[in-house]
Structure formats: C-alpha cells, structure tokens
Amino acid sequence: MSEVHDPQKCRHCQGSGQVLQPLPQMNNMMLKMMCCQCGGAGFTVVCTSCLGKGTTGKMLNFEFMNFSFPVPEKCSACNGWGKLAAARHTPVKRKRVDDMTALEMKEELRRMRRKVTGTKAELRERLQHVFETNDRGWATRCVPKVSAGQYLESGTFRDVFVMTFTKGPRKNLKGVYKVFKDPTAENLIREDLQAVAEAGRIIEAFNEYNNEHCRQRGQPARRRVYLNQPEVWECGERKVLVEPLIDGTYAKFNSNSGWVNEGYNMMQALSHFSFHFSNGQHLLCDLQGGGYDTHYVLTDPAVLSVNKDFGVTDGGFPMMRNFFAHHVCNEYCDAAWLRLKRPRVCVQ
C-alpha cells in the first residue's frame, strides 16, 4: 500500500524544499537554504503516531540542578514535530473511468481485487460501482467453525475477527466478520445496513461531483471512494456481518464527535459534501479505512441525522453542529456547499 495521506505542500517554501536567505553582511546576495519548516521535503504528512500533536500525552520529570518540573514526552516517530517529511511524494496521474482503456480498467480492477473479465462497458460499470461486496458466488453461510477466525479488535458494540474465504472469486483472501456482543441486538444489524445504504448513496454522488469538477477544469481525476458493504451471514444461531479485509495500513480519517485527522483533506470534504447533498439533513462521518494511489475504501461509517434515524452511532443535530465547529474547508470543498451557520462545540 502506498502513502495513505494527502501530503500537504509546505507554505514556507511552496513545495520546493528550499528557501532563499540573504548572506550575513551581504544583503544583495542570496543563498538557497533547506526549508526548516518541512526539512527540505517540500511536502509533509501528519504523524499518525501522535495525530499531529507532537507529544504522547505523557509527562516526564525534567531535573535541572535542584529543580524538577514536568515536561510533555515527545513523540518518538516525529521527534515532537507533529508531521513527517514526504520527500518521495510524486503526484499520481489519475484518469477518469470514462477515459480509461479496457487494459487500464482491468489493471485497476486487479489492484482492487475485483473481477477483471467482461466487456469494456462491464469493466467501467464495475469500477464506478461504489460498493465492495462478497457476492458473485459466495456461500451465504459461514463455515461451521467460524470461531476459528483470529481475533482482531473490539468496538463498543462488536468484536471483529479475521478469517479466510474458502470459495468464490476471493478464495484464499482475507475477510472479517463482526459479531455483536449482545446476541439479541439484531436491530443493530438493521441500523448498520441502513447507514451503509445511505453512505453509499452519498459516496456515489461525491464521486460524480469530483468527476464533473475535474472534467470541467481539465484537471487529473481525483481518487474515487468505495465502501465495504457488509453481508449478513448466519453462524450457528448468531448473525454476523462479513466483508473483505482492507489491505495495508488502516487509518481513521474523522470521528462522529468532531475529531478530524488533518492529513486527509478529501475525507473531510466528503463529510462536508454529505451535509450539502442531503440539504442539511444528514452528515457522513466516522470515516475510516484504507487510502491508495487511485482510491479510498471505507468501512463502518456513521451517519448523523436531524431526526436520529441511524441508530446508536447517530449523535443527531448536536454532533452535526459539533462537526462544523471543528471543520475547516480545504481544496476539495466548494464554497457553494451548505454549512451550519451557528456551529457549536459540544464535544472536545
């Protein structure tokens, strides 16, 4: 997996990695020096270890002579800087799906581990389809010993396990199944699927907006966004949600409480777009997944709504206000998009 962040151009050197400095006592002569803001990289990414804070959150006692006072512990990954150099960042020339040849579409589908056979129209439709699914011939029931899966992590409501597909086009590839901690909470499954359906509708519109935006301006295509669509499988008497495992580094882009990872501008724009697209009724957030050269794959999004229609992760209108209290529009946002006029921080 390649760089998952959207590298930020250094404002001090404008991405060149060098700045002109006058020589001492020789104001008419300028010398090229390494930019101290980006370390000569030109582009930087937010440190994922400390999330841009530069500290670990722990305090250390610093002693000097007979004095002792606490100091914050620096993040070892970025040495307290809060960001990392992206010196080898090279912009990827992305094509719109409509401009791709059949060979290019097959190569793109192969990287995404999707089916690569069919006519050019079928390949195009497959690339434009938002959902990453487990269908096309999967068995619709878990294997008898599904508990043999390897434990991955736990969330508030679910335990997540890694397993291997044993038949179908994804044979021998990894997937995940999610088991709800409360065996009687089947309503949570319905709420999950309802949120995924709305997220897919929003993401499809966002992809179309990006395609048209770049086409009108003659710009290279932006990354497409896809969404893992879970399926309900029966595992004994329990129902579980099954979806493909996201390859590479897994990243959290923002949350349903207003927190944002500032290295992922396109994801923050997607959340803003969802509010505009739904005419202020919904906001797609809690975005997480994998970022690749040509696309993102998201999983487990949350949808906030004015009427709290999307279950326990739907924080309603207060959390929508909280999002806009933290949101700063970026190059992927449009000035014409709707936003709340009176945002308010309700969660730090």
Give me the tens of pLDDT residue by residue for the chain, a chain 348 residues long: 233 456 666 777 777 777 877 776 666 777 777 777 776 666 677 776 777 777 888 888 877 777 777 888 888 777 777 777 654 455 567 788 888 999 999 998 888 888 888 999 999 999 989 988 765 444 444 443 334 568 888 877 788 888 887 776 677 788 888 888 877 777 888 889 999 999 999 999 999 999 999 999 998 899 999 999 998 888 777 888 888 898 877 889 998 887 888 778 999 999 999 999 999 999 999 999 988 888 999 999 999 999 999 988 899 999 999 999 989 898 999 999 999 887 777 655
295-298 and 224-228: which strand pairing? parallel
- Look at residue 66 and tell me if it is in a domain: yes
Rounded Cα distance between 325 and 341, Å, is 10
Query: Which helix (H) or strand (E) element contains residue 6?
Result: none
**How many angstroms separate the Cα of 28 from the Cα of each of 12, 33, 34?**
21, 16, 19
- On whether residue 32 sits in a domain, the answer given is yes
176: in domain? no
DSSP reduced 3-state for 282:
strand
Within a domain: 71? yes
CB 71 within 8 A of CB 60: yes
Give the residue from 330, 192, 322, 181 showing the smallest Cα distance to 255. 322
Coil, strand, or helix at residue 273? helix
Residue 179 lies in a domain: no
Domain assignment present for residue 234? The answer is no
Contacts 24+ apart (CB under 8 A), 36-41: 36/12, 37/10, 37/11, 37/12, 37/13, 38/10, 38/12, 38/13, 38/85, 39/85, 39/87, 40/85, 40/87, 41/10, 41/17, 41/85, 41/86, 41/87, 41/89
Number of domains in the chain: 1
Kindly state the DSSP code that residue 301 receives in the 8-state scheme: -
The C-alpha atoms of residue 161 and residue 243 are separated, in whole angstroms, by 11
Q: Is residue 274 part of a domain?
A: no
Helix (H) or strand (E) holding 46: strand 43-46
Do the domain assignments include residue 260?
Answer: no
Question: For the whole model, what pTM was predicted?
Answer: 0.74
What's the domain range around 46?
8-85
Give tens-digit pLDDT for 57-80.
Answer: 888 887 777 777 788 888 877 777
Nearest-angstrom CA–CA distance, 158 and 313: 13
